């Protein structure tokens, strides 16, 4: 893998979403749950419609870590990410991977419209499909980068972090947003540092020698 | 080396490739982070040593170490300006290392992604590969290998670059994961169908898995391969040992798979990551004892997309080519296309796939639009779904679509018209497309069976000159409407029978033409279809959602033996029957019980009928509510609590309950007494700054279904607005939702403002992913609702 500091964008990520992941997100206990054929068919229909409403896109960038301590890491572009958990995750990493994905606003709008129309199941399933598709899209980018890294005897850390979780404050969302120029994916950041469209995800992983 | 010399070599023996290069270079001191191609040129002895070792071990072909020597990759190291020199020198180095051994130029992923996946135009990538191919040709390579490919479209770009630059043999290998998919979702058979049709001389897989897992991939592909197959596995599955990736399969264990690989039909083998000259030596020794298994077929009736394929033929299931993506007679679609939009095209594609189409016809012929531009746009959008049938009268449009289509398309159509034979036929052949042979000529459509048969033979004769075989074409029966000529159906049926039984090609028909101008067209269409299936028809251009069409197709597959052991038919219709039984099982002769069951199973369709039946039997509206609806929804709550139901089922039942109330409400109003209480009002909102509202929406829905009046203020709502609404509607409860740690703090503002405004009797209920009981206590909320069902229970508790 080279050292280019150019963000690589994917306009259309080929996400294959297993139905099971949507059921899991919706809290189905597959050992206990019982559904009628009609219910299964309705769920399948909404999941398929939801998938068609998603347009997964994403991007990634590799940045070297130039300085670190127990509570933060500093990147080659001068940005600093403050989080003890993240610093611990990146303890053996010489670089990190910033990734982002979104599925666009179509699914969010359709879910909201369904909720307004009183179609609760549809709204709920669309929402779950949107979330899972955004997660799968990030997963796809990680698989792609992971495969590329193999050739330079490197690998990604197994875990990844997202702003707003643990001690990685949501203010880091702005840093990632700016570095990855997420405007290019049609994502904006509101005053509460929430990404719009809602079904958008960012993540940080470490790049280690294998 | 010529392509025929390459094929001849493969009939004589299992050809042995080289093993890993990267891991061997690291052993010889290549540091991490450098450009491997440049390091090799600066340290040529290392590479010469590796390749001589592989040659001595038995490699018939070694790969030039030009894996990352394309413009995009070299740019990452600031070396794009030296591209020609680097490739030429690397080829020279390999030639010097192996003497009279074969040297193949190596093309690999660019690291960029082609539209629509990425933002690089297809043609740019073709040109990037062409530049590398030209330099490797200057270095005197004997052929090319396109390897470790993850994306079918990029693989096509590389293959086209080679085919448009030289006549040398070209091998292609892609990388499949444990689910037998490439990173961009292609399966081995789809990729094989696409690339062998385009002229790859051998196809297979490399990297990612060990030899054992590759066996399965090879066995999957072999029945469909018209070209030799390749396996270049890793030396086992990588393991992490002391923080380092290790491939620990020994050379003898690696070579132990050779007999099985050979028996599965591998004609070319080598090693990838972790393999060494010793692995190759053992492999070559074992392979020398095996006889190569040539491809089992010489031609294949099949079309593909990037992630799907469809096999055609008299013993394969009948294929319906969905006809709806065609603006003719569709005003709404025409209007969309004129605006450059494709939303309806997407919907038609999805609907036809769901209805049972195997292939989608795409026609963008409409006056006032740029047909080529819209066709290319549509093909880019639909390229990963079902295989496409490119339908146009313009050879230019067809060629543009075929160039960027990431699969093997079906071209609709090629006739004996001069322009079709001179322009469309060579374009279809270049990209390996199958085509629909239309029995018409410049003079028109022959009125007799003999006239049409003559044209079929003439066009096929022309097609053979481009390498086409009978497996690659489908003859269109070209049915005319029976309303103007009652012999029309017979002529077509005779042609279908001759084509399928004697001439030996696929047959297809545009079904709906036959009934034009007739009443109840579906009757005529379906009867004609059944008759044509009986005469050998194996494809139809039709709307798969048309009345009774798919049942006729499915039954036809059973009756003609195309549906082996009737598996597909039983799966489809047997399952539907079972579904009916499940529903029937919850029906009851007791009207009150039937209403109860409708709520229990969330059967929205039946609830109104069930309630009307209960009313007709003399049960009062109030009793239906008290003795059926409420006990049923309570039972649903219990099933949810014990996890037999999950949230969607809870909501389905709640939605059914609401529909039931809609029926009963006028009757309940009539009998309303003065003592009946007014509905309790609950104000709900997602707090300011937060845009997540699905949880709040579900709570609103559930509360409404349980008889509360909900004022839903939406998302990102200010404290002032929430408190004002609560005052205005005399709310008993305010429900607040937040998903973010940064926005949950706004809940406090609402509670404090409400108190300051004197809303002392209002109860506060809070919820959301980051909220918990402790936080609710901390901010002075009256309750924390972890889910929608609990929110209902809390609301019921607050308002007895």
Q: pLDDT at position B702, please? A: 85
Which of A31, A36, A41 best tests the B interface by mutation, with the highest count of B CBs <10 A?
A36
Q: pLDDT at position B245, please? A: 66
**Residue A101 domain-assigned (yes or no):** yes
**Closest CA–CA distance from residue B471 to any residue of chain A (Å):** 31
**What are chain B's domains?**
3-206 (3.20.20.330), 302-574 (3.20.20.20), 587-670 (1.10.1240.10), 681-798 (3.40.50.280)
Interchain proximity A152–B32, CB inside 8 Å: yes
Interchain proximity B150–A147, CB inside 8 Å: yes
Q: What is the pLDDT of residues B423-460, one digit of tens each?
A: 999 999 999 999 999 999 999 999 899 999 999 999 99
Domain holding A164: CATH number? 3.40.109.40
pLDDT at B725 over 90: yes
| Partner-chain residue, chosen from B35, B76, B603, that has the shortest CB–CB distance to A38 | B603
pLDDT at B346 over 90: no
Give the count of domains, chain A.
1
Q: pLDDT at position B578, please? A: 41
Contacts with A41 from chain B: Cβ below 8 Å: 579
Interchain proximity B32–A147, CB inside 8 Å: no
Q: pLDDT at position B244, please? A: 64
Contacts with B348 from chain A: Cβ below 8 Å: none
Interchain proximity B32–A153, CB inside 8 Å: yes
**Residue A2 domain-assigned (yes or no):** no
Q: pLDDT at position B22, please? A: 87
Which of A45, A121, A130 best tests the B interface by mutation, with the highest count of B CBs <10 A?
A121
**Closest CA–CA distance from residue A114 to any residue of chain B (Å):** 10
Contact B747, B785 (CB under 8 A): no
Q: What is the pLDDT of residues B638-670, one digit of tens each?
A: 888 888 899 899 889 988 888 898 898 888 777
Mark residue A146 as left, alpha or beta (left: phi above 0; alpha: psi -120 to 50; beta: remaining): alpha
Q: What is the DSSP string of A48-111?
A: HHHHHH---EEEEEEEEEEEE-SSEEEETTS-EEE-HHHHHHTTTEEEEEEEEEE--SHHHHHH
Contact B782, B795 (CB under 8 A): no
Q: pLDDT at position B565, please? A: 85
**Residue A96 domain-assigned (yes or no):** yes
Interchain proximity A147–B183, CB inside 8 Å: yes
Contacts with B181 from chain A: Cβ below 8 Å: 16
Please list, in sequence order, all residues whose beta carbon lies within 8 angstroms of the beta carbon of residue B688, skipping any fewer than 6 positions away: B716, B717, B718, B719, B743, B746, B749
Q: What is the pLDDT of residues B266-325, one digit of tens each?
A: 999 999 988 999 999 999 999 999 999 999 999 999 999 999 999 999 999 999 999 999
**Residue A20 domain-assigned (yes or no):** yes
Contact A99, A157 (CB under 8 A): no
Q: pLDDT at position B347, please? A: 83
**Residue A1 domain-assigned (yes or no):** no
Please identify which residue in the block is written with the tokens 């500093």. A74
CA distance B301 to B281: 39
Residues forming a β-bridge with B363: B391
Q: pLDDT at position B596, please? A: 92
pLDDT at A2 over 50: no
Q: pLDDT at position B583, please? A: 34
Q: How many residues does chain A have?
A: 210
| Interface predicted TM-score of the whole assembly (ipTM), two decimals | 0.87
**Residue A196 domain-assigned (yes or no):** yes
Contacts with B642 from chain A: Cβ below 8 Å: 32
Hey, which residues 742-771 in chain B have their CB within 8 Å of chain A? 742-743
Hey, which residues 553-572 in chain B have their CB within 8 Å of chain A? none
CA distance B123 to B131: 12
| Partner-chain residue, chosen from A3, A27, A193, that has the shortest CB–CB distance to B76 | A3
Stretch among A153-157, B105-109, B554-558 having the lowest mean pLDDT: A153-157
Contacts with B701 from chain A: Cβ below 8 Å: 115, 118, 120
**Residue A136 domain-assigned (yes or no):** yes
CA distance B343 to B340: 10
- Determine contact: B698 vs chain A, CB below 8 A: yes
Q: pLDDT at position B579, please? A: 36
- Give the residue on A whose Cα is nearest the Cα of B642: A32
pLDDT at B568 over 80: yes
Hey, which residues 101-130 in chain B have their CB within 8 Å of chain A? 111-113, 115-119
Contacts with B77 from chain A: Cβ below 8 Å: 2-3
Contacts with A119 from chain B: Cβ below 8 Å: 655
pLDDT at B739 over 90: no
Q: pLDDT at position B384, please? A: 83
**Closest CA–CA distance from residue B605 to any residue of chain A (Å):** 11
Q: CA dihedral in degrees (B431, B435, B441, B445; nearest 10)?
A: -160
Mark residue B20 as left, alpha or beta (left: phi above 0; alpha: psi -120 to 50; beta: remaining): beta
Average pLDDT, rounded, for chain B: 91
CA distance B636 to A40: 17
pLDDT at B585 over 50: no
CA distance B573 to B554: 9
Contact A176, A202 (CB under 8 A): yes
B586 confidence band (pLDDT: 50, 70, 90): very low
Residue range B690-712: average pLDDT?
86
Q: What is the pLDDT of residues B680-693, one digit of tens each?
A: 999 999 999 888 88
pLDDT at B541 over 80: yes
- Give the residue on A whose Cα is nearest the Cα of B21: A151
Contacts with A192 from chain B: Cβ below 8 Å: 689-690, 740, 742-743
Interchain proximity A26–B648, CB inside 8 Å: yes
Contact B83, B71 (CB under 8 A): yes
Residue range B597-601: average pLDDT?
91
- Give the residue on A whose Cα is nearest the Cα of B695: A124
**Residue A3 domain-assigned (yes or no):** no
Domain that holds residue A49: 8-209
Measured distance between the N- and C-terminal CA atoms of chain A, rounded to whole angstroms: 14
Interchain proximity A33–B647, CB inside 8 Å: no
pLDDT at A188 over 90: yes
Q: How many beta-carbon pairs under 8 angstroms link A with B?
A: 169
Contacts with B693 from chain A: Cβ below 8 Å: 112, 115
Question: Strand B783-784 relative to strand B763-767: parallel, antiparallel, unpaired?
Answer: parallel
CA distance B19 to B629: 71
Interchain proximity A39–B648, CB inside 8 Å: yes
Q: pLDDT at position B116, please? A: 85
């Amino acid at each position: 893998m080279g050292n280019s500091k150019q963000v690589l964008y994917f306009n259309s990520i080929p996400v294959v979403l297993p139905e099971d992941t949507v059921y899991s997100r919706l809290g189905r206990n597959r050992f206990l749950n019982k559904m009628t054929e009609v219910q299964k068919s309705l769920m399948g229909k909404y999941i398929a419609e939801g998938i068609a409403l998603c347009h997964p896109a994403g991007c990634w960038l590799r940045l070297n870590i130039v300085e670190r301590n127990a509570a933060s890491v500093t990147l080659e572009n001068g940005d600093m990410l403050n989080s003890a958990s993240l610093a611990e995750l990146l303890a053996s990493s010489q670089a990190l991977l910033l990734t982002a994905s979104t599925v666009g606003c179509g699914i969010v709008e359709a879910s909201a419209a369904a909720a307004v129309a009183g179609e609760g199941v549809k709204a709920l399933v669309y929402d779950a499909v949107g979330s899972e598709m955004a997660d799968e899209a990030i997963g796809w980018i990680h698989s792609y980068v992971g495969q590329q890294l193999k050739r330079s005897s490197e690998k990604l850390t197994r875990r990844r972090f997202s702003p707003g979780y643990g001690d990685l404050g949501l203010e880091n969302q702005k840093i990632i947003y700016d570095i990855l120029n997420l405007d290019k994916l049609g994502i904006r950041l509101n005053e509460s540092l929430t990404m719009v469209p809602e079904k958008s995800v960012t993540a940080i992983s470490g790049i280690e020698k294998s | 080396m010529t392509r025929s010399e390459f094929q001849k070599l493969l009939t004589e023996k299992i050809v042995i490739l080289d093993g890993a290069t990267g891991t061997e270079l690291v052993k010889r001191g290549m540091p991490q982070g450098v450009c491997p191609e440049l390091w090799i040129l600066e340290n040529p002895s290392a590479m010469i040593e590796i390749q001589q070792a592989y040659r001595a071990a038995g490699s018939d072909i070694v790969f030039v170490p030009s894996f990352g020597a394309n413009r995009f990759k070299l740019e990452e190291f600031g070396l794009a300006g030296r591209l020609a020199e680097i490739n030429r020198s690397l080829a020279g180095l390999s030639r010097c290392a192996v003497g009279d051994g074969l040297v193949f130029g190596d093309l690999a992923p660019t690291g960029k992604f082609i539209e629509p996946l990425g933002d690089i135009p297809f043609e740019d990538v073709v040109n990037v590969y062409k530049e590398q191919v030209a330099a490797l040709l200057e270095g005197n390579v004997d052929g090319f290998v396109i390897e470790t490919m993850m994306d079918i479209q990029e693989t096509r770009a590389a293959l086209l670059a080679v085919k448009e630059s030289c006549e040398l043999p070209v091998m292609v290998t892609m990388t499949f994961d444990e689910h037998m998919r490439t990173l961009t979702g292609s399966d081995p058979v789809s990729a094989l169908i696409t690339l062998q049709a385009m002229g790859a001389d051998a196809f297979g897989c490399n990297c990612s898995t060990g030899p054992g897992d590759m066996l399965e991939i090879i066995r999957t592909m072999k029945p469909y391969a018209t070209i030799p197959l390749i396996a270049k596995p890793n030396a086992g599955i990588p393991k992490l040992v002391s923080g380092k990736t290790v491939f620990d399969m020994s050379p003898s264990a690696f070579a132990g798979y050779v007999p099985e690989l050979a028996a599965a039909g591998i004609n070319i083998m080598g090693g990838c990551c972790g393999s060494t000259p010793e692995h190759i030596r053992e492999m070559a020794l074992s392979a020398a004892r095996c006889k190569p298994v040539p491809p089992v077929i010489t031609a294949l009736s099949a079309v593909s997309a990037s992630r799907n394929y469809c096999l055609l033929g008299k013993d394969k299931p009948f294929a319906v080519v969905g006809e709806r993506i065609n603006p003719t007679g569709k005003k709404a679609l025409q209007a969309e296309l004129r605006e450059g939009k494709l939303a309806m095209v997407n919907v038609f594609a999805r609907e036809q796939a769901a209805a049972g189409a195997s292939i989608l016809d795409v026609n963008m012929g409409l006056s006032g639009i740029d047909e080529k531009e819209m066709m290319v746009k549509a093909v880019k959008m639909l390229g990963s779904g079902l295989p496409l049938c490119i339908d146009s009268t313009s050879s230019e449009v067809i060629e543009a679509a075929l160039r960027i289509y990431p699969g093997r398309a079906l071209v609709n159509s090629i006739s004996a018209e001069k322009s079709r034979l001179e322009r469309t036929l060579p374009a279809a052949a270049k990209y390996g497309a199958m085509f629909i042979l239309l029995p018409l000529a410049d003079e028109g459509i022959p009125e007799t069976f003999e006239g049409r048969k003559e044209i079929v033979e003439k066009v096929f004769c022309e097609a053979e000159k481009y390498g086409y075989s009978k497996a690659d074409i489908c003859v269109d029966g070209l049915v005319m409407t029976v309303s103007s000529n009652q012999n029309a159906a017979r002529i077509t049926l005779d042609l279908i029978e001759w084509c399928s039984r004697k001439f030996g090609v696929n047959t297809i028909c545009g079904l709906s033409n036959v009934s034009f101008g007739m009443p109840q067209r579906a009757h005529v269409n379906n009867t004609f279809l059944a008759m044509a299936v009986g005469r050998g028809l194996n494809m139809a251009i039709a709307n798969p959602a048309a009345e009774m069409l798919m049942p006729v197709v499915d039954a036809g597959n059973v009756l003609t033996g195309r549906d082996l052991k009737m598996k597909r038919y039983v799966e489809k219709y047997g399952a539907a029957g079972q579904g009916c039984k499940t529903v029937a099982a919850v029906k009851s002769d007791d009207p009150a019980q039937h209403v109860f069951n409708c709520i229990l199973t969330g059967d929205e369709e039946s609830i109104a009928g069930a309630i009307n039946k209960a009313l007709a039997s003399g049960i009062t509206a109030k009793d239906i509510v008290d003795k059926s609806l409420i006990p049923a929804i309570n039972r649903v709550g219990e099933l949810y609590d014990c996890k037999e139901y999950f949230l969607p089922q809870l909501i389905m039942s709640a939605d059914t309950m609401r529909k039931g109330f809609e029926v009963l409400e006028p009757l309940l109003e009539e009998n309303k007494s003065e003592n009946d209480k007014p509905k309790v009002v609950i104000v709900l909102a997602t707090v300011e700054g937060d845009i997540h509202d699905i949880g709040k929406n579900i709570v609103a829905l559930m509360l409404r279904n349980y008889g509360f009046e909900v004022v839903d203020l939406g998302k990102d709502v200010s404290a002032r607005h929430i408190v004002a609404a609560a005052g205005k509607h005399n709310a008993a409860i305010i429900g607040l939702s937040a998903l973010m740690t940064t926005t949950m703090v706004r809940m406090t503002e609402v509670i404090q403002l409400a108190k300051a405004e004197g809303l002392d009797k209002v109860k506060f209920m809070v919820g959301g992913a980051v909220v918990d009981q402790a936080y609710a206590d901390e901010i002075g909320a009256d309750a924390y609702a972890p889910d929608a069902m609990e929110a209902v229970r809390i609301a019921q508790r607050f308002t007895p």
